[in-house]
Structures are given as C-alpha cells and as structure tokens.
Amino acid sequence: MGAMEKAASYRFDLTRYAWVRRLLTSRWPQFILRAVTLAGFMLVILTGFIGSPVGSRNFAVMFVWIAWWSALKLIMLPFGGRVWCSICPIPMPGEWLQQGWLVKPGGKKFNLGLRWPRRLRNTWLQSAGFAAIGLFSALALTTPVVTAWIFVGLIIVAVVVSVVFEQRSFCRYLCPMGGFIGLYATMAPLELRPQPDLTSVEKGAAVREWPRGCPWINNPAALKANANCGLCLECLRTESGESMALNARSFDAELGQPGAFRLDEAFLSLGLLGSVMIYSAVFQGPWGALKNAALYAGSPAWWGFAAFFLLTSFGLLPALLAGVSALVRRTGNLGQPLQMVFTRFSRALLPLGLLSWIAFTVSFAFGKMAYLWPVLSDPFGWGWNLFGTAAVEWQPYLLNATPVIEAVLLVAGLIWSGRTVLKTAGQLGVRGERRWAAAPVLLFALAGTLILLWLLIG
C-alpha cells in the first residue's frame, strides 16, 4: 500500500482511553442530551402552533431550519457522521414504550416486535420522505405551523412504528433525514467498528448476543459501513462491549475502499444531488416565479414544480449517470453488469453531494443567523425578552466571504469525487493506461459542479 493509502486507512481508537469508554458506556450523558433535544422538540411543536406566524420571530422555524439544520450539515454530519441520530429525540417515546423504562432497556414492553418487511428494507421510503418534505420546503421553512405539523407527524409515525416493529425500524427505514444523514456519514471521520483483532470465537459469541443489543438491527461484529449505524452506542454497553471501538479515521477511509451500494442508495445519492441544485435555484436564485411555484402548494405552478423536482432528481440525473456509466463500461471493457457500474459510480459522487449541501447551507443560512438572537429571547414572538437579546438588529455574518467559501467547498467536492471515480473505475477493471475511459463520469461530476457554482456564486 502507498503512503497515502496507509494514511487513509489509519484508524485511531478513541475508546482505548478508559475515560472515553466510561463516558460512552454510561447512559447518562446521552440521556441528558436526548432529554434536552426532546424538550426542544416539544418547544418547536408548541411555538409552531401557538407562536407568532412570522417565521423569523418563531423558534420553530429559526431553530429547526436555521440552527439545527445548519449545525447538522456544517458540523455534525461532516465531522461526526450519524452523531445526531445518537441524540435524536424522535424515537425516544417509542423506545420508552418498547423498553418499559426510560434509561435502561428491560422491563415490560409495549411492542409487537415485528420485523420490517423485507421488500422495504432499503432507502426508497426515506427518499420518498425526503422528496415529500422537499416539495413543501418553501412552505415549511417559512411557516411555523407547517413545521409543527411535520414534527407532530414524525413523532406519531415514530411511536406507531416503534410499537409495531422491532427496535429502531423507524430510524433505519423511514426517517426522512435518515437517508440523507446515513449516506453522507460514509465520509465521516468517526466510526463504530469491531476491534480489528477479534478472534472468530469472539465474533461468534458476539453474533449471538448483539442482534438483541443493536437497536439499529445491525450485526456490530460485521459492521463495515457507517450508513446504517446510528451511533446509539448500545453495543458498547453489552457484555461484549469491549470488542467494539469508536475510531477516528480519515475522511476518505471508508469511501476510498470498494463498498457495496444498492440501487436504492444510488438513486438516493443522485436524488440528493438533484435536490441541492433545485434548492439552490429556489432559495438562493433571483427567480420569483420559481419561488412562488414552490410556495403555493396545490397550485398548477406547484404541480409543475413538483414534477420538475421529482423527474430531475430521481429521473434525469440517474438516467444521465446510467448513460455515462454504460459508456465507461463499453470503452473500459468492463465485465460487471451495468447496474453495478452505475451504483458504484453513484457512490463515488457522494463527496460532491455532501460538499454541495455544505456550500448550499453556507449560502442559505449565514444571512439569517443573526435572527437567532431575538428568537432566543422571544421564542413565541410574543414580545418577550428573556435574555435581553430581543432587540438585536439583523447584521450580515461573513457575507463577504461566503462566495469564496462556497467555491472552495464545491471544487473540493469535485476533486474528492473525481479521485473516487477514478478509484472506482480501477476497482471495476479499467486499466491504468486507459484512465481516460472514466472521463464521462468525471464530466458528469464536472457538469454538476459547474451548475452548482453558477447557481450559488454565478
């Protein structure tokens, strides 16, 4: 292995430090954080329903779509992967019903324990959920009541699913954010994996025990990818917990290695790329007709927008990538089926997607951060001043620097995806001297990058 490869696959076990392991295995820190996020969730629903209808003065809109969503995409996801899922409050009430206790599993259960239907054990429902919210995003992002209804819907569905199905089936197969977070967690520098030196005996023992202990319905002993591990840390708390490690790793550690990628994941990867382009056009562009089409749900213009959104993200982009994949397959004389070539290249485009979303967030959120201060003092928009910040006037934060930041992010995403595309091409069988055979996919990535550059800083 070359020096770069060695660096890329280096892992640093954070749980080798006893205090780290104690912190993670203790239930209290995570519980307290989740109790706080649950209170926040309730506050969102409350302010959404009875607070001011003016979005910029309402806790629901500001702290969900500006504070939390930006923190997720700028910090939690790129640096921690699924770390939000470990403190997410949505499944909490359902888990309490399942476990019968708040903190520790055990006790009477309200749970039918059904297994999730086999046909739906993929990300199609999550793509649908994400797309559904996307279609109403102009409405949700500006209307507190709609945000509140979305949250109410999420918690009701989560509770019902928790009572009927096993463990965190909602999180794994249904949560609209879960698909987004899971796929991009592939590039995170944090992972939960079995210790590399586990003997097969230990693995076997773990296999018997862990299916009960892993709420995300994984076999931790066989965990190879971040996408479906919700960092709930339950496996660390079982008797075989010592066999699991929380590793810090390089950003490219998982993506740089060949990895399986299903068709539904490929569509989600491209759908997210298409979504960020459309979001950029709707929210950051100067086109009023498009914004109004996205806002007035139910109007003829909105149906046109919905059709455009869905057909582009889940139709046009996959079709284009399939086309260039077929081209690469022909010119590179690859033996794998087209579906495999297509899905592997979709996986290689994940960095472009993640960095595009980060660039979009920089463009979208920085201009609105200043509204967070008044909302802290006056979450309901009733004229309160709890912390004295209610009269803080809007000011621009870093607006001068955002074009450069966005440009750097998008180019970095292109380069990272480009390298991964070439690696993938090689893994698929394109020989070194014929690297140009992978050019069509690189051009696809370049086109996507140029479109995003034009939408955000053009």
Residues 71-100 that bind another protein (CB under 8 A): none
- What does the alpha-carbon distance between residue 297 and residue 305 come to, in Å, rounded to a whole number? 10
298 binds another protein (CB under 8 A): no
Q: Of 166-174, 191-199, 264-272, 276-284, which segment contacts another protein by CB under 8 A?
A: 276-284
156 binds another protein (CB under 8 A): no
- Residue with smaller CB distance to another protein, 172 or 368: 368
Look up residue 443 and give its two tokens: 């051009």
- Residue with smaller CB distance to another protein, 82 or 368: 368
- What does the alpha-carbon distance between residue 374 and residue 366 come to, in Å, rounded to a whole number? 16
- For the packed helices 350-365 and 338-348, what is the interaxial angle rounded to 10 degrees? 40
- What does the alpha-carbon distance between residue 187 and residue 392 come to, in Å, rounded to a whole number? 38
- Judged by CB under 8 A, the residue of 72, 380, 441, 444 near another protein is 380
Place of tokens 């076990």: 13
- What does the alpha-carbon distance between residue 242 and residue 236 come to, in Å, rounded to a whole number? 7
Which H/E stretch holds residue 345?
helix 338-348
Q: Where are the beta strands (DSSP E) in 135-215?
A: 190-194
- Residue with smaller CB distance to another protein, 53 or 113: 53
301 binds another protein (CB under 8 A): no
Helices first, then strands: H and E counts in the chain: 23, 3
- Residue with smaller CB distance to another protein, 80 or 259: 259
Residue 116 C-beta: closest distance to another protein, Å: 28
Residue 2 C-beta: closest distance to another protein, Å: 8
- Judged by CB under 8 A, the residue of 9, 25, 122, 142 near another protein is 142
289 binds another protein (CB under 8 A): yes
283 binds another protein (CB under 8 A): yes
435 binds another protein (CB under 8 A): yes
Q: Which residues pair with 13 in a beta bridge?
A: 247
Q: Of 119-127, 170-178, 219-227, 284-292, which segment contacts another protein by CB under 8 A?
A: 284-292
Q: How many alpha carbons fall within 13 Å on the CB side of residue 322?
A: 12
- Judged by CB under 8 A, the residue of 83, 88, 138, 348 near another protein is 138
Which H/E stretch holds residue 12?
strand 11-13
Look up residue 438 and give its two tokens: 């992978």
Phi, psi of 268 (to 5 degrees): -65, -40
258 binds another protein (CB under 8 A): yes
Build a one-symbol-per-residue string for 337-356: x at contacts with another protein by CB under 8 A, - elsewhere. ---x---x------------
29 binds another protein (CB under 8 A): no
* DSSP one-letter string for 170-237: IIIII-HHHHHHHHHGGG-SEEEEE-TT--HHHHHHHHHHHHHH-TTS--GGG---STT-----TGGG
Which letter does DSSP use for residue 244 in this model? E
Q: Of 40-48, 156-164, 310-318, 321-329, which segment contacts another protein by CB under 8 A?
A: 40-48
- Judged by CB under 8 A, the residue of 21, 425, 441, 444 near another protein is 425
Between residue 49 and residue 68, which ones bind another protein under the rule CB under 8 A? Answer: 50, 52-57
Asked whether 215 and 85 are in contact (CB, 8 A), the reply is no
262 binds another protein (CB under 8 A): no
Q: Of 48-56, 235-243, 244-252, 309-317, which segment contacts another protein by CB under 8 A?
A: 48-56
Chain Cα centroid distance, residue 179: 6
Chain Cα centroid distance, residue 291: 25
Number of residues that bind another protein (CB under 8 A): 81
Q: Of 111-119, 159-167, 199-207, 447-455, which segment contacts another protein by CB under 8 A?
A: 447-455
Q: Of 138-146, 153-161, 180-188, 312-320, which segment contacts another protein by CB under 8 A?
A: 138-146
297 binds another protein (CB under 8 A): no
- Judged by CB under 8 A, the residue of 14, 38, 164, 316 near another protein is 38
- Residue with smaller CB distance to another protein, 46 or 198: 46
For the sheet containing 11-13, what is the strand order? 11-13, 244-249, 190-194
237 binds another protein (CB under 8 A): no
- Judged by CB under 8 A, the residue of 60, 125, 295, 349 near another protein is 295
- Judged by CB under 8 A, the residue of 80, 211, 315, 403 near another protein is 403
Asked whether 190 and 79 are in contact (CB, 8 A), the reply is yes
Among 304, 307, 227, smallest CA distance to 268 is for 227
Which letter does DSSP use for residue 237 in this model? G
Q: Of 228-236, 267-275, 302-310, 434-442, which segment contacts another protein by CB under 8 A?
A: 434-442
- Residue with smaller CB distance to another protein, 4 or 114: 4
* DSSP one-letter string for 92-154: HHHHHHHHSSSSSS-S------BPPPGGG-SSHHHHHHHHHHHHTHHHHHH-HHHHHHHHHHH
Dihedral sign, Cα of residue 15, residue 20, residue 22, residue 28: negative
224 binds another protein (CB under 8 A): no
